[in-house]
Amino acid sequence: MSDADQPTPHQLSSAEVRKVATLARLALSDEQIENARHQLAGVLALMDQLRGLDLADVEPMTHPGGQVNRLDDDAPSADHQRTVLGPEALGRIAPMTDGPFVVIPKVIGGDDGGGA
């Protein structure tokens, strides 16, 4: 899309903010949605100042370093071994476990368990 084709700046509607909240996996009340709508409007107005810049021939810059893949030896180093986590260590930081398993609500075939 050329810069001239960009959508015009606009305030987000409540429905749009609710859609963004869903995409962001945030359960917000109607009051929180309205508050977010108001706050995002102010921030997006700041962002809209980028419109009008001539960026047609500018390459996007995703990262400050060189885009080079680093290849390591196919063997764990001492540094890797320091940070490898077994089931016991992972279980200690999980919010709910059952033996060596992390408990979540049933995804298929029911709604019980995992939420407590």
Partner 1 sequence: MNVLESREAVRTRSASAVELTRSALDRASAINPKLNALVEIFPDEAVAQARAIDERLARNEPVGPLAGVPIALKDNICLSWGRTTCASRMLENYRSPYSATAAQRLIDAGAIIIGKANLDEFAMGSSTTRSIFGPTRNPFATDHVVGGSSGGSACAVASGIVPAALGSDTGGSIRQPAGFCNIVGYKPSYGLVSRFGLVAYASSLDQIGPFATCVADAALITSVIAGVDPLDSTSSPDAVPDLLTDLESPIANLVIGVPTQARSSANHPAVAAALELAVERFKRQGAIVIDVDLPHTSHGIAAYYLIATAEASSNLARFDGVRYSRRAKLEPGQDLMDLYCRSRAEGFGEEVQRRIMLGTHALSAGYADAYYLTALKVRRLIARDHQRAFDGGEGQPACHAILMPSSPSPAWRIGEKTADAVSEYLEDVYTVGVNLAGLPGITIPGGFTRGNDGTGGTPGLPVGVQLVGPAMRDDQLLRIARMLERAAQ
Tell me how far CA of residue 99 lies from CA of 33, 96, 104, 109, in angstroms: 39, 10, 13, 22
User: Which of the residues 36 through 55 are near partner 1 (CB under 8 A)?
Assistant: 36, 39-40, 42-47, 49-51, 53, 55
Dig out the tokens for 87 from the structure. Answer: 């089931």
Considering the complex, what minimum distance in angstroms separates the CB of residue 78 from partner 1? Answer: 9
Q: Is 29 helix (H, G, I), strand (E, B) or coil?
A: coil
- Does residue number 59 form part of the binding site for partner 1 (CB under 8 A)? yes
The C-alpha angle with vertex 51 and arms to 48 and 53, in degrees rounded to 5, equals 140
- Does residue number 75 form part of the binding site for partner 1 (CB under 8 A)? no
**Which neighbouring-strand residues pair with 98?**
101
User: Which of the residues 80 through 99 are near partner 1 (CB under 8 A)?
Assistant: 80, 82-83, 85, 89-90, 92-96
- Asked if 40 and 17 count as a contact pair (C-beta separation under 8 A), the reply is yes
- Does residue number 11 form part of the binding site for partner 1 (CB under 8 A)? no
Per the rule left: phi > 0, alpha: psi between -120 and 50, beta: everything else, 34 is alpha
Residues near partner 1 (CB under 8 A) are 1, 3, 6-7, 12, 17, 20-28, 36, 39-40, 42-47, 49-51, 53, 55, 58-65, 70, 72, 77, 79-80, 82-83, 85, 89-90, 92-96, 102, 104-107, 111-112, 114-116
